[in-house]
């Protein structure tokens, strides 16, 4: 997780340029705090996140983050938006080259669940609306892009959302979302990708009009 930001962090704070590590200005504290926050999520989960700990890991005083994110909610919102962006990237990579609707839906569903599995705390944060600034445009845009990708695969049409989404689209989103969470929350053991394909097939049985 946070590979790109970790490399920035390493360049600025790491051993190689240790001579610069005692300086007053950080260089790219914003990126370092995001990377630290994502690391904390991965290690301790959403409940284990704290702004102080992120500051600590970035090598900075507890008051420093306020200059970049306002408060804890601000940092979490940025991290959540990045999560949606990565989810979209993961789905795009999974569906790359798949032409048929059925193959695309299976690939997107697999990618959705795989993302949740690979980054459980990050995935959870994305839905913890009480911890986020839900009005943030970047967050809304990132979440909307992920949804649009599913929608396009299921209906074959691009978004724009003049009307409410079709039930088949909501069914697809619900099924991958519910499946991912039931596994993450320990309601059932992970039955594996082949099993998930069979579950996703339930979305493909007919093309009945909605």
* CA–CA distance, 93 with 36 (Å, rounded to integer): 26
User: Between the CA atoms of 86, 77, 149 and 92, what dihedral angle is there, to the nearest 10 degrees?
Assistant: -10
The CB-of-104 to a second copy minimum distance in angstroms stands at 17
Q: Give the nearer residue to DNA in terms of CB position, either 40 or 196.
A: 40
**139 and 127 Cβ atoms separated by less than 8 Å:** no
Residue 178 touches which of a second copy, DNA, none (CB < 5 to 8 A by kind)? a second copy
Residue 83 touches a second copy, criterion: CB under 8 A = no
Binds 43: which of DNA, a second copy, none (CB < 5-8 Å by kind) = none
Give the torsion sign (CA, 40, 65, 6, 35): positive
Residues 72-91 that bind DNA (CB under 7 A): 72-73
Q: Phi/psi zone of residue 120: left (φ > 0), alpha (ψ -120 to 50 degrees), beta?
A: alpha
Span near DNA by CB under 7 A; candidates 59-67, 111-119, 129-137, 189-197: 59-67
The 104-123 site mask, x for binding DNA (CB under 7 A), equals --------------------
């Amino acid at each position: 997780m946070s590979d790109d930001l970790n490399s920035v962090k390493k360049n600025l704070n790491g051993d190689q340029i240790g001579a610069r590590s005692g300086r007053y200005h950080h260089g790219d504290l914003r990126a370092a705090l995001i990377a630290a926050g994502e690391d904390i999520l991965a290690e301790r989960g959403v409940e284990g996140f704290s702004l102080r700990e992120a500051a600590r890991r970035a090598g900075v005083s507890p008051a420093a983050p306020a200059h970049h994110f306002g408060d804890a909610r601000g940092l979490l919102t940025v991290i959540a938006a990045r999560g949606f962006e990565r989810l979209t990237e993961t789905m795009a990579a999974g569906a790359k080259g798949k032409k048929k609707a059925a193959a695309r839906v299976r690939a997107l569903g697999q990618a959705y669940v795989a993302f949740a599995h690979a980054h459980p705390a990050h995935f959870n944060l994305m839905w913890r609306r009480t911890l986020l600034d839900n009005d943030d445009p970047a967050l809304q845009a990132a979440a909307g892009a992920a949804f649009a990708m599913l929608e396009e695969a299921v209906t074959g049409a691009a978004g724009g959302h003049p009307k409410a989404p079709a039930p088949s689209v909501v069914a697809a989103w619900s099924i991958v979302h519910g499946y991912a969470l039931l596994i993450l929350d320990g309601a059932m053991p992970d039955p594996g990708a082949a099993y998930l394909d069979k579950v996703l097939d339930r979305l493909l049985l007919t093309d009945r009009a909605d």
